[in-house]
Every structure is written in C-alpha cells, then in structure tokens.
Chains A and B, each alone.
Chain A
Amino acid sequence: MSSAMYKRMRANPKFQELVARRGRFAWTLAAIVLTMFYGFVMVVAFNPQSLGQPVSEGSRLTVGVAVELFMFIFFWALTAVYVKRANGEFDALTQEIVKEAWKENK
C-alpha cells in the first residue's frame, strides 16, 4: 500500500526535480560552510600572524575577530536561508507530489 505510494511518487518527475534541486542547494551550502571553516582552520594553522593584524590602521579590531564574527553570522544566515527555502518552496513541492500520488490511488 504505502510501497505503491512510494513507487508512484518516485515515478513523478516532480520528485526527481525536488530531489535534484534540494540536494544541489543543500550540498552547495554545506560546501560553502566546510570550505570557509576548514579554510579558516588552515589559516590558523599556517598563517596565524595574519589574523592578529588590525582591520585598518589604528583600529583595535583584529582581522581574526572580524572574520570569525562574520562566520558566526554568515553561517547562521545560511541556515536561515536553507530553512526558508526548504520550508517554503521545497515543502510545497513535496505536498504536490504526495497529493498527486494520492489522486492516482483513487
């Protein structure tokens, strides 16, 4: 019964579209986070001096603090972007897929 439902959903081109679009989106965001984070870790490891420099002449704020604060905010903003799109666009698409599979059922 539910296996038949799953089969119909899988056959729906919209399902392929959902999986492809959401997968691409999620992996892109994950790649951004991983690259930035491990990039930062590498800088900490190989060029720590650069992080202690002031952001501008005479400023007390250092590059390291500014970069990290930016990452805290940016990563969180990315989670917000993902949640917004997944809970809106992708969930709407999911609803359609489930509904269409039900219709075929009748």
Chain B
Amino acid sequence: MLRKLITSLGLLGFSALAFAADAVAQTEKQATNWHAIIMFCIFVALTMGITYWAASRTKSTADFYTAGGGITGFQNGLAIAGDYMSAATLLGLTAMVYTQGYDGYIYMLCFFAGWPIILFLMAERLRNLGKFTFSDITAYRLDQGKVRTMAAISSLTVVCFYLIAQMVGAGQLIKLLFGLEYNVAIFAVGILMMVYVTFGGMVATTWVQIIKACMLLSGGTLVMVLAMSEFGFSFANLLEKATAVHKLGDKLMYPGALLKDPVTAISLGLGLMFGTAGLPHILMRFFTVTDAKEARKSVLYASGFVAYFFNVIFLMGLAGILIVGQNPEFFEGGTVGAKLIGGGNMVAMHLAKAVGGNMLLGFLAAVAFATILAVVSGLALAGASAISHDLYARVIMKGQASEAAEIRVSKIATICLGAVAIVLGILFEKQNIAFMVGLAFGVAAAANFPVLILSMYWKGLTTKGALWGGYGGLISAVLFVLFSKSVWVDVLGNAAPLFPYTQPALFAMPVAFLLAYIMSKSDSSVAASQEIEAFDDQYVRAQTGYGAASASNH
C-alpha cells in the first residue's frame, strides 16, 4: 500500500526535480532548432536591455541584494513562481502525468502544500527580521561571526549542489531542444547568468524571473487551451479517451505504484516541504518587498500561479496521452509505443509542436531555456550574497566594509560562482547527478531550516545550540546521502549502501533539532543568557515589523 505513496513522493523528488539528471542523461544532439533560437535571442535581448537599465539603478548594497526592497507583492509573487517552477516542473511533471496519470497530480499537490505553511508561519517574520540574507535572522541575537559563517557554509553547499544539477540539466536540455553542443550550452548559461547578476543584481534577476514566469504561464496556457480544444474543452471527454488508450487503462486515474518504502516517502515529503522553506534563493526573495504586508501578498500570488500552473500541466499531460502518445511522428522508428523521440521528458515539447507547430515548439523551448537562466541567476545571487554580505562584510570585516567594497566582492563572487558552475557543469556531464538535488533539499531542510525556525520561534536558542544544530544537520545530511545508494553504490561503485534510504531529511532534521536543543539547554555561559534575553526585543520586531529594514528610495 505504502508503495503508492512513495511512488508519488519519490518521483516528485527525483523525476521532477532531477529529471534532467537521469532522464535526459543520454540525450542525442538534435537538429538545430532555429525557431527556438530566434525566440530565445529575443528573450536574451529583452533581459539584457533590462539588465542595462537595472545596472543604472544598482548602486547600494540594498539595490544589489534586494532591489532596494522596492518590489511589489505582485511582482515578487511572479518572481517567486518563476524561481520555484523550474524546467523540471514544465517537462518532468508533464511527462509524469503522461506516463503515470493521477500520480503526477499527487506530486504536484506535494509541491504546492508547503506554500501556505510558509505564509502562515514564516513569511512575515522573515521580512520583519531579515535584511539581505536569511543569516541576518539566524544571527540576529547570536554571535555574528560564528553563526553567519555556519549559515554561509550551508547556504553555499545548497547553492553549489543545486547549481551543478541545474547546469548539467541545462546542458542536456539545450543540446536536446536547440541542437547546440553541450559545452556551448553550459558556457551560454554561465555567462548570461554572470552578466545578469553582476551588472543588474537583484533588480535584473527579479525581472528575468518575472518575464520567465509570464512566458511559462502564457506558453503553458496556450498549449493547454489548444490541446483542450481538440476535446471540445470537456474534461470528461478527455479523460474517457485517455483512459481508453493508455496502457494503464482505468488504473490511470488511481494512485500508482513505483517505489520502495514508507520511510523514504515521509523523508522525501519532509525534505521537500521544509527544504523549500530553507532554500537560500527562495528565502532571499522575501527581503525584496517593502514590508510584511507585501511579503504576505507575494506568497498569495506565488501560490496562486503555482497552483494554477500545476493544473494546466495536469491537463497538458493527459492531452499528451492522446495527441502525442497516439501519433507515430513522435516515436523513434515511427511506431506508437516505441521510445519517444528525445526521451520521456519531451512530452510537453511534442505536444506544443502537435497543437501549435514549430512556432509554438520554439516558444516553449525558449521558455525552458529562460527558465534555467532565471533559476541559476537566483542561485548565483544567493550564493554571492552569502560570500559578500555574510562572510566578507560581517565576518571578515566585522561590519566595517564600505558598501562599494561589499558590492565589488559580491560581483567577484558571482563571477567565481559562474566559473565554478561552468567547470563543474562540464566535469559532471557524464555523471549521475540525480543525488545532488536531493542533497540540496536535504541540506536546506536539515541545516538551514531548523536553525532558522528555532531562531524565530524559540527563545532558548543560543549560539552554541545554533552551531551544533546547523553543522550537525549539514554534516549528517551530507553523510546520509554519501552512504546512501545514490552515491555509495551508483557513483562510488560499492556493492551495498551503508545507509538504506536515499532521502536524508527524516533522519538529519531530528539530529539538527535535537543538537540545537540539547546544546542550547546545556549552555550556561553569560553570553547565552544574554542571547536568550535578547529574544524578547527580537520577538516584538518579528511581530510588529518595528525596526525592520525599510525600502530604500529611488
């Protein structure tokens, strides 16, 4: 029975998030797709124009990290949706509905359910306490140097793993969609990302994400509407025909079966829900709005767009079963039921071609490329701010760095991150990198989230507790993944895994919480009692927003 649950959750994590890693791994280079390239060039020209404009508005550190805190709730909602819905969402989830039917819909709900929780329990405190990075919150009343160093290390760990997964996925996808060489694709993504972030900072990154979200929403909607028109816009009609031809038959609309055990399922569910709430590039978006009011609105709009788009994808996947799945043109060798041309994740692309011709296919391919760019830009900015704001300005310079120097460091950091991303992207081309997204979410859930939530909600947290909790969560998450099948066996070639589960969250999160609790409780130093006392003021600020970083004027 539990298998079904795990199927859902397992696929949610691996197939959807890391789809690019395993499924696209053996893609062949396709014929050069000129429609896609032209449309993508239009996107690049537009975003470059915005970057040029943004560069003139990016003067202070606040401009660079948070667009001066002047983004509206609606804009930020779109940008969050743009940051959250990756190419994996569009391609991987459509493909999942196509092959698994209802299961795909279940995964999408899992992706969505974390957002209301983030709103109810975190959004307003994040905005009221934070300034540039989430370490501002964890280090608010604790030892700045030590806690920020810890938070920066775990942020950078998350960013690096996520970045590698995105880069390798991008290379494979672009090779497939555009017919470009893998290395050309990696360089294109890395260099464009560096240009957006170093010149335009958060203003440009935000607009890249907004434009991309609009393209994704409109492109997806158009494909869905065109596809549904073939079924008289009747869901019942679509469903009847789809179940009639699908190899699962009536089982198409039942929760399916695929994975191993309930522990993995729960672990993955926890990792996704709380990993999302611990991803530095998502958390950073909450500091770009004017106040807590706008922060709440951001989540309202973001979750609205995400929920809407998931339902669009569900319809696209179902329509794909008939429109793509019954058309020999999309199968290798021209036989229905053989391997889909370009691999299983191409359903959305084939569907676009079937209902809207090469123009729509080109548009959707450009959307996928834009999507990758938007996500890596957000990641690079989050990584750069951990280096420049946390490590350089606060830890090394102890708050004495000038704004100009801090911005310079963050730009250098962005270029270094871009270079690292390109090098790692090329090194990992042939590697199985499926574990990296799981690792990124696991570290986010086990190292970032526990300390962050405790610092906001638990008076008793001390520096010692935060450090033990943060490092404990980070190290245990990394070790659990290292000893699991996905690295120990699949990458290192050992016979059997030392740790039986692939998902670390269920085990690493309690380690973090427990260490933070025990070490805080056992800390009887003078500094600790001062930190505990400081919670009262922090609490008032968290609740009222009095003293919160305000928007800079332009």
Q: Which of B186-194, B383-391, B487-495, B544-552 contacts A (4 or more CB under 8 A)?
A: B544-552
Stretch at the interface among B17-25, B233-241, B332-340, B472-480: B233-241
B300 and A94 contact, CB distance less than 8 A:
no
Q: Please, which residues of chain B bring their CB within 8 A of the CB of A7?
A: 537
Query: Which residue from B250, B293, B307 sits with its C-beta under 8 Å from A52?
Result: B250
Given contacts A44-B255, A51-B255, A83-B296, contact A68 B543 (CB under 8 A): no
With a cutoff of 8 Å between Cβ atoms, the chain A residues found around residue B251 in the complex are: 52
0/1 string, B289-315, CB within 8 A of A gives 1: 000110011011001100100110000
User: Which among B32-40, B110-118, B206-214 touches the partner chain?
Assistant: B110-118
* Residue B367 at the chain A interface, CB threshold 8 Å: no
Residues of A contacting B300 in the complex (Cβ-Cβ under 8 angstroms):
79-80, 83
CA distance A34 to B544 in the complex (A): 26
Bound together, the chains give a CA A59 to CA B109 distance in angstroms of 23
Cα separation A60 to B241 with both chains bound (whole Å): 10
Measured between alpha carbons, how far is A52 from B262 in the docked complex, in Å? 21
**Interface residue B428 (Cβ < 8 Å from any Cβ of A):** no
Chain A residues positioned under 8 Å from B5 (CB to CB): 41, 44-45
- In the docked arrangement, what's the CA distance between A30 and B123, Å? 13
Decide: A3 near B537, CB < 8 A? Known: A51-B254, A52-B253.
Answer: yes
Residues of B within 8 A of A64 (CB): 102, 105, 253-255
Inter-chain CA distance A19–B121, complex, in Å, is: 13
Write the nearest CB–CB distance from B190 to chain A, whole angstroms. 36
* Interface range for A: 35 or more
CB of B158 to closest CB in A, whole Å: 24
Cβ of B531 within 8 Å of any chain A Cβ, yes or no, is: no
Q: Is the interface of A mostly helix, strand, loop or mixed?
A: helix
Counting chain B residues whose Cβ lies within 8 A of the other chain, the interface size class is 35 or more
**How far apart sit A10 and B542, CA to CA, in the bound complex (Å)?**
12
B4 at interface by CB-CB < 8 Å: yes
Q: Which one of A19, A26, A68 lies within 8 Å of B120 (CB-CB)?
A: A26
- Residue on B with the closest CB to A86? B296
Tell me how far the C-beta of A71 lies from the nearest C-beta in chain B, rounded to whole angstroms. 6
B540 CB within 8 Å of chain A: yes
B546 and A79 contact, CB distance less than 8 A: no
CB <8 Å contact, B293 and A76: no
Supposing A33-B117, A68-B106 touch, asked if A45 and B4 sit within 8 A by C-beta, the answer is yes
Bound form: Cα–Cα A29–B113 in Å: 12
Q: Is B269 an interface residue (CB 8 A)?
A: yes
Which of A27, A61, A62 counts the most B-chain CB atoms under 10 A from its CB? A62
Cross-chain contact A41 with B269 (CB below 8 angstroms): yes
Q: Once the chains bind, are B546 and A51 in contact (CB under 8 Å)?
A: no
Q: How far apart sit A49 and B545, CA to CA, in the bound complex (Å)?
A: 49
Contact across chains for B536 and A79 when beta carbons are under 8 A apart: no
Q: Which residue of B lies closest to A26 (CB)?
A: B120
A9–B128 alpha-carbon span in the complex (Å): 16
Beyond A75-B303, A76-B307, A79-B119, 14 extra complex contacts between A and B, CB < 8 Å: A30-B121, A44-B4, A44-B255, A52-B251, A60-B236, A61-B236, A62-B253, A68-B109, A71-B109, A76-B116, A78-B116, A83-B119, A94-B543, A94-B545
7 smallest beta-carbon distances between A and B, as pairs: A52-B254, A45-B5, A48-B255, A60-B236, A6-B540, A6-B537, A26-B120
